[in-house]
Amino acid sequence: MSILKEKKILVGVTAGIAAYKIAHLVRLLIKAGAQVQVVMTPASKGFVTPLTLSTLSKNPVLSTFFSKEDENEQWNSHVDLGLWADLMIIAPATANTLSKMANGTSDNLLLATYLSAKSKVYFAPSMDLDMYKHPSTIASVSKLESFGNICIPAESGELASGLVGEGRMAEPESILTFIEADILKNLPLRNKKVLITAGPTYEAIDPVRFIGNYSSGKMGFELAKHAANLGAEVVLVAGVSNETVNHSLIKRIDVVTAQEMYDVVHQNFDTAAIAILSAAVADYRPKEVASEKIKKDDASMQIELVKTKDILASLGTIKKEQLLVGFALETSDEVANAIGKLKRKNLDFIVLNSLKDKGAGFKQETNKVSIIDKSEKISEFGLKSKTLVAKDIFNKILKKFNG
Ligand code: CTP
């Protein structure tokens, strides 16, 4: 999965011959799972049609401050566009537009949107070789870089003028690769390994029966996705779960029993920077597993259970620099019980969810948690999707990790 998945991307097109290649760039961005809004300068429409770009981006293309839909005049707000975007790509970026961007000119919708953009801005210059080398263009590029904008350097080759040299816009594939690599390189958990457990464990009684629980694994999977989006190399140790994940930075290892989860977690803990144990591990397992299906004979039956190993507690005893996070699902004396677990298991944080809260806990799309740290400071959060809960948990972790 591309790091650009679900990213909101503004594509600004200016009037260079390479504008025809933007159709392919938009196609690649959509394939990567991004949402794309194209903004064109009026003159660029001579090089590629808005119809092509609106069809490929699945969004109407904007090029003027006002557009008429039937009888209604509509204002295209550069401010809203600037706030909407997770990143902006200006490609092709002509010498004229680079100069205007560098000097704060805003005489078209694209330039006004650029000035309003709160996100990172990438620009891919495209012009003839002498224009590219002109001190004025070089000055524009370095001024833009001093603003924090990022230049995707032009390539060398045959130019539309027939001349050969530097100035050709980077190919759409190279633009995509450049941006993905730049985002990854700057992510806060880049090159850090994050170990996550998720879902229930099943403890066999006989070949067809087991002791399990209602955990869906959703919370752990959301944590894994969020960690990967922060650049981490994630090892997701998953009990039996219907959740799916498809991310190049997530290695999923499926397990069934508490003992299997224990073994895989221990194989991976040493090299981990962060471990978050959100799995609902069975506390007990049958002492004996019947090799044949148990027949119903008597009016009642008993199964002797023995304790499983507490994976989280075992990590607490061996941890060095790792940041260790556990979960607590409580029904009474929530805070006191959670703090007890935090101390007993030597955790950095415990995420408490109370089954008393409507919409929180097992099998739900939502969760309501409090995060308690070592100094017993409690941060409470409202009911929200498990995706957003994962974000809150990582915000806490990042603060501690970087501070
Ligand atoms: N945990 C674990 N291994 C176990 C049991 C629990 O790693 N064998 C982890 C869970 O993933 C979770 C935390 O420990 O992060 C839950 O703590 P625990 O004390 O087991 O909670 P409960 O099962 O609710 O315990 P109790 O019944 O004692 O309240």
Tens-digit pLDDT profile for residues 241-269: 999 998 889 999 999 999 999 999 999 99
Q: Which of 289, 285, 282, 305 is nearest to 206 (CA)?
A: 289
User: What share of the chain has pLDDT > 70, as a percent?
Assistant: 98
- pLDDT of 297-345, one tens digit each? 888 999 999 999 999 999 999 999 999 999 999 888 999 999 999 999 9
**Residue 69: predicted pLDDT:** 66
Which atom in ligand 1 lies closest to the alpha carbon of residue 278? Answer: 11
- pLDDT of 153-194, one tens digit each? 999 988 888 889 899 999 999 999 999 999 989 999 999 999
Q: Is 279 in the pocket of ligand 1 (CB under 6 A)?
A: yes
Span from the CA of 310 to the centroid of ligand 1 (angstroms): 7
**Residue 313: predicted pLDDT:** 98
Tell whether the model's pLDDT for residue 402 goes beyond 80: no
**Residue 74: predicted pLDDT:** 81
270: exposed, middle or buried (C-beta count within 10 Å: 0-12, 13-18, 19+)? Answer: exposed
Which atom in ligand 1 lies closest to the alpha carbon of residue 341? Answer: 19
**Is the CATH number of domain 8-185 3.40.50.1950?**
yes
Quote the longest CA-to-CA distance of the chain: 94
Residue of 215, 241, 310, 344 to mutate, ligand 1, most atoms within 8 A of C-beta: 310
Q: Is 198 in the pocket of ligand 1 (CB under 6 A)?
A: no
Q: Is 351 in the pocket of ligand 1 (CB under 6 A)?
A: no
Span from the CA of 311 to the centroid of ligand 1 (angstroms): 8
Q: Is 86 in the pocket of ligand 1 (CB under 6 A)?
A: no
**Rounded CA gap, 227 and 339, in Å?**
25
- pLDDT of 33-71, one tens digit each? 999 999 999 999 999 999 999 999 999 999 999 887 666
Active site residues: 213
**Rounded CA gap, 334 and 312, in Å?**
19
Q: Is 277 in the pocket of ligand 1 (CB under 6 A)?
A: yes
Q: Indicate the domain borders of the chain.
A: 8-185, 193-291+301-401
**Residue 153: predicted pLDDT:** 96
- pLDDT of 281-294, one tens digit each? 999 999 999 999 99
Tell whether the model's pLDDT for residue 72 goes beyond 90: no
**Residue 299: predicted pLDDT:** 85
Question: Are the folds of 8-185 and 193-291+301-401 the same?
Answer: yes
Span from the CA of 123 to the centroid of ligand 1 (angstroms): 50
Q: Which residues contact 6 (CB under 8 A, 6 or more apart)?
A: 33, 34, 35
Span from the CA of 313 to the centroid of ligand 1 (angstroms): 9
- The token pair at 14 is 């200016």
- The token pair at 342 is 């935090």
Location of structure tokens 């915000």: 395
**Residue 337: predicted pLDDT:** 96
Closest-CA residue, ligand 1 atom 4, reads 310
Q: Is 285 in the pocket of ligand 1 (CB under 6 A)?
A: no
Enter the pTM of the model: 0.81
Q: Look over the chain and give the mean of its residue pLDDT values, rounded to a whole number.
A: 94
**Residue 361: predicted pLDDT:** 67
- pLDDT of 194-215, one tens digit each? 999 999 999 999 999 999 999 9
Residue of 201, 312, 393 to mutate, ligand 1, most atoms within 8 A of C-beta: 312
Span from the CA of 309 to the centroid of ligand 1 (angstroms): 10
**Residue 207: predicted pLDDT:** 97
| 3 state DSSP class of 181 | helix
Q: Is 261 in the pocket of ligand 1 (CB under 6 A)?
A: no
E strands, 160-226, in order: 164-168, 193-198, 203-206, 209-211
Q: Is 325 in the pocket of ligand 1 (CB under 6 A)?
A: no
Pick the CATH number of 193-291+301-401 from 3.30.450.20, 3.40.50.10300, 2.40.50.1070, 3.30.530.20: 3.40.50.10300
Residue of 196, 266, 277 to mutate, ligand 1, most atoms within 8 A of C-beta: 277
Span from the CA of 328 to the centroid of ligand 1 (angstroms): 7
Span from the CA of 280 to the centroid of ligand 1 (angstroms): 7
Q: Tell me 294's DSSP state.
A: P
β-strand 87-93 against 8-13: which pairing, if any? parallel
Q: Can you tell me the mean pLDDT for 237-243?
A: 97
**Residue 71: predicted pLDDT:** 67
Q: Is 53 in the pocket of ligand 1 (CB under 6 A)?
A: no
Q: Name the phi and psi angles at 6, rounded to 5.
A: 65, 5
Tell whether the model's pLDDT for residue 403 goes beyond 70: no
Q: How confident is the model at residue 358 (pLDDT cuts 50, 70, 90)?
A: confident
**Residue 364: predicted pLDDT:** 76
Q: Which of 318, 328, 313, 330 is nearest to 372 (CA)?
A: 328
